[in-house]
Amino acid sequence: MSIQYILELIGTVVFAMSGALAVSEKDKDQDWFGAGFTGFVTAIGGGSLRDIMLGSYPLVWIQDTTLLYVIIAAIICSGLFYKWLLNLRRTFLLFDTLGISIFTIVGMEKALSLGASPEIAAIMGMFSAVMGGVIRDILTNEVPVLFRQEIYASACLLGASFYLGLEYLEVERNTNFILSVFLIIGIRLLAVRYNLSLPKFNRFRE
58-62, 92-96, 100-104: lowest mean pLDDT where?
92-96
pLDDT band with cut points at 50, 70 and 90 for residue 206: low
Q: Is 206 a member of any domain?
A: no
At 181 the pLDDT is 93
**Average pLDDT along the chain:** 89
Stretch (H or E) spanning 10? helix 3-26
Long-range (24+ apart) CB contacts under 8 A made by 83-86 are 85/17, 85/21, 86/21, 86/25
SS3 annotation, 33-93: HHHHHHHHHHHHHHHHHHHHHHCCCCCHHHHCCHHHHHHHHHHHHHHHCHHHHHCCHHHHH
At 183 the pLDDT is 97
Q: Is 182 a member of any domain?
A: yes
Q: Is 200 a member of any domain?
A: no
Q: How far, in Å, CA of 158 to CA of 180, rounded?
A: 9
Count: domains in the chain: 1
4-13, 51-60, 184-193: lowest mean pLDDT where?
4-13
Q: What is the mean pLDDT of residues 39-47?
A: 95
Q: Is 162 a member of any domain?
A: yes
Q: Is 149 a member of any domain?
A: yes
Phi-psi group of 150: left, alpha or beta (phi > 0 → left; psi -120 to 50 → alpha; rest → beta):
beta
At 200 the pLDDT is 77
- Local structure of 115: helix, strand or coil: coil
Cis peptide before 58 (omega within 30 of 0): yes
Q: How far, in Å, CA of 34 to CA of 11, rounded?
A: 21
Quick one: angle between helices 173-193 and 89-113, nearest 10? 140
Q: How far, in Å, CA of 47 to CA of 124, rounded?
A: 9
Q: Is 202 a member of any domain?
A: no
Condensed to tens digits (0 to 9), the pLDDT of residues 150-194 reads 789 999 999 999 999 999 999 999 899 999 999 999 999 999 899
18-27, 105-114, 121-130, 165-174: lowest mean pLDDT where?
18-27
Per the structure, the complete domain to which residue 107 belongs is given by 3-193
6 pLDDT higher than 90:
no
Long-range (24+ apart) CB contacts under 8 A made by 160-163 are 160/104, 160/105, 160/108, 160/121, 160/122, 160/125, 160/126, 161/122, 163/105, 163/108
Q: Is 201 a member of any domain?
A: no
Are the CB atoms for 64 and 9 separated by under 8 Å?
no
At 126 the pLDDT is 96
26 pLDDT higher than 70:
no
Q: Is 95 a member of any domain?
A: yes
Condensed to tens digits (0 to 9), the pLDDT of residues 110-122 reads 999 999 999 999 9
